[in-house]
Chains A and B, each alone.
Chain A
Amino acid sequence: MEKNEQSMATIYVMGKKHSVPADLTIMKAMEYAGHQFKRGAGCRGGFCGACATIYRTQGSYKLQGALACQKIVEDGMYIAQIPFSPAEKKAYDLQALRTEASTFLEYYPEISRCLSCNTCTKACPQDIMVMDYVQAALRGDVVEASRLSFDCISCGLCAVRCPAEIVPYNVGQLARRLYARYVVGPTEHVLEKVKEIKEGEFDGAIEELKGLDRKALQERYNSREMRV
Chain B
Amino acid sequence: MSGYPEYMQESLKLVDKTRPERVGKSFRAMTADEKTKILNDYHPDFKLDEKRKLRIGTSAGELMPHEVADILEAHPIINPGDIDLTDITYDVDVLIIGAGGAGLSAALLAQENGIAPDEILMVQKLRLGDANSKMSQGGIQAADALDDNPAIHYLDVIGGGHYANKPELVEAMVKEGPDVIRWHEELGVIYDKLPDGSMQLAAGGGTSRKRMHSCKDYTGLEITRVLVDEFINRGISYVEFTSAAEFLMDDRSQVVGTILYDMDSDEYKIARAKSTVLATGGFGRLHIQGYETTNHYGATGDGIAMAYHAGANLRDLDSTQFHPTGAAYPDQIVGQLCTEKLRGRGAQPVNKLGELFVYPLETRDVEASALIRECYGRDNGIITPTGMRGVWLDTPLIDVINGEGTIEREFAAMLRNFNKFEIDIREEPMLVFPTLHYQNGGVEINARCETSVPGLLAAGEVCGGVHGKNRLMGNSQLDLYVFGRRAGRFAAERAKKASVGRLTLNHLDRYEKMLADAGVETERRAPILLPEYRGERTLEHQIRLL
A interface residues (Cβ-Cβ under 8 A, vs B): 1, 3, 23-25, 28, 31-39, 41-48, 50, 70-72, 89, 91-95, 126-127, 146, 150-151, 153-154, 173, 176-181, 184-194, 196-197, 201-202, 205-206, 209-210, 214, 217-218, 220-222, 224-228
Contact = CB atoms under 8 A, between A and B. Distances in A.
A190 B182 contact: yes
A209 B158 contact: yes
Nearest to B229: A173
A192 B535 CA distance: 56
A144 to B, nearest CB: 14
Given A184-B193, A189-B145, A94 B533 contact: no
B468 to A, nearest CB: 12
Contact of B178 (A45, A151, A193): A193
Interface stretch (B51-59, B79-87, B272-280, B381-389): B381-389
A222 B150 contact: no
B296 A151 contact: no
Interface string B359-399: 00100000000000000000000000111100000000000
Contacts of A178: 188
A46 B535 contact: no
B197 to A, nearest CB: 7
B155 A1 contact: no
Given A42-B296, A184-B193, A217-B159, A227 B218 contact: no
A127 B142 CA distance: 32
Contacts of A95: 186
Given A43-B130, A173-B229, A209-B158, A1 B150 contact: no
B146 A189 contact: yes
Given A126-B416, A177-B226, A180-B190, A48 B129 contact: yes
B337 A45 contact: yes
B477 interface: no
Contacts of B197: 187-188
A45 B417 contact: yes
A47 B220 contact: yes
A11 B450 CA distance: 50
A180 B144 CA distance: 18
A1 B209 contact: no
Contacts of B530: 36-38
Contacts of A92: 233
A89 B232 contact: yes
Nearest to B387: A1
A50 B155 contact: no
A177 B222 CA distance: 10
Nearest to B203: A228
Contacts of B336: 44-45
A70 B185 contact: no
B297 A43 contact: yes
Q: Which 3 A-B pairs have the closest CB atoms?
A: A177-B188, A221-B159, A205-B151
Given A72-B332, A93-B233, A197-B150, A34 B538 contact: yes
The CB with the most chain B CB atoms within 10 A, among A23, A39, A187, is that of A187
Nearest to B220: A47
B375 to A, nearest CB: 15
Given A45-B135, A189-B145, A214-B163, A228 B361 contact: yes
A39 B134 contact: no
B130 to A, nearest CB: 5
B190 A227 contact: no
Contact of A151 (B149, B193, B412): B412
Contact of B225 (A34, A173, A184): A173
B181 interface: yes
A38 B241 contact: yes
Contacts of A221: 155, 158-159
A185 B537 CA distance: 56
A127 B417 CA distance: 12
B130 A50 contact: yes
Given A94-B187, A227-B209, 9 more contacts: A1-B388, A45-B294, A71-B420, A92-B233, A179-B190, A180-B188, A180-B191, A185-B185, A190-B142
26 contacts: A1-B386, A31-B533, A33-B535, A36-B534, A38-B530, A42-B127, A42-B298, A43-B135, A43-B297, A44-B297, A46-B413, A48-B134, A71-B420, A151-B216, A151-B413, A186-B182, A187-B198, A189-B198, A189-B199, A193-B149, A197-B179, A205-B149, A206-B151, A221-B158, A221-B159, A227-B147
Given A28-B533, A180-B190, A194-B178, A186 B185 contact: yes
B237 to A, nearest CB: 14
Interface in B120-161: 126-127, 129-130, 132, 134-135, 142-147, 149-152, 154-156, 158-159
B181 to A, nearest CB: 5
B241 to A, nearest CB: 6
B412 A194 contact: no
B66 interface: no
Given A176-B188, A193-B149, A209 B198 contact: no
Contact of B159 (A91, A150, A218): A218
A48 B332 CA distance: 17
A21 to B, nearest CB: 10
A36 to B, nearest CB: 6
B109 interface: no
